[in-house]
Amino acid sequence: MLKGLIGRKLGMTHIFDENGRMVAVTVVELGPCYVVQVRTPEKDGYYAAQIGFEPMKTQRVNKPMMGVFKKAELEKPLRHLKEFEIIDGQAVSGQEVRAEHVFKEGETVKVTGTSKGKGFAGVVRRYRFAGGPMTHGSMTHRRPLSSGATGPQRVFKGKRMPGRMGGEQVTTRNLTIVKILEGQNRVLIKGAIPGGRGSIVYVQKQ
């Protein structure tokens, strides 16, 4: 059994639980994924499987990668690839893996995705700086002001300054799989997950 799968965020909706309470959920198209390569302790030093998601046109793949897919006896190349640890059992190249094979309802998972890009942002929006006084003659309302002391005569790396916000890898933990829609390759995850509609996400056991 694999530790996780590759999926695509479809959007959010809500459902009602057995007590009639409304629960906000994110709909994720999770798989079907296919095993492309298997890493073994004898050859690679660890046990894992590289899986692929979402078929793509053959013309868009170079020859070395096409060789990898042909070796796995896959009909079409796959757009997104990622390695996941094999927890128990074994994986075989070309094997199809679905959500119901890996996860079960009520299981706690973590979801990794790319956060929505917000563009160039100042420190007040990007890092929640307090800003300066809005009145009484102040000329600096939303500026960062000092960027360092005279002594070092430079700005240290990692200094919080204006710049591009979002578009980073984010992992949200302690999420619950509310429902698995078998045959539809969809799972409902309680709460929000990183990324916009249509973005690629990695759902993993915690």
Instruction: Give this prediction's pTM.
Output: 0.89
Predicted local distance difference test score (pLDDT) of residue 31: 82
Is residue 107 over pLDDT 90? yes
pLDDT digits (tens, 9 = 90+) for 6-40: 999 999 999 999 899 999 999 999 989 999 999 99
Q: Which CATH number fits domain 1-30+103-116+167-206: 2.40.30.10, 3.30.70.100, 1.10.10.10, 3.40.50.2300?
A: 2.40.30.10
Whether 135 and 127 have beta carbons less than 8 Å apart is answered as no
CATH 3.30.160.810 fits 33-97, yes or no: yes
The residue extents of the domains of the chain are 1-30+103-116+167-206, 33-97, 119-144
From residue 28, alpha-carbon distances to 36, 79, 133, 188 in Å are 22, 17, 45, 6
Predicted local distance difference test score (pLDDT) of residue 89: 78
In 10 A of CB 156, how many CB atoms? Answer: 9
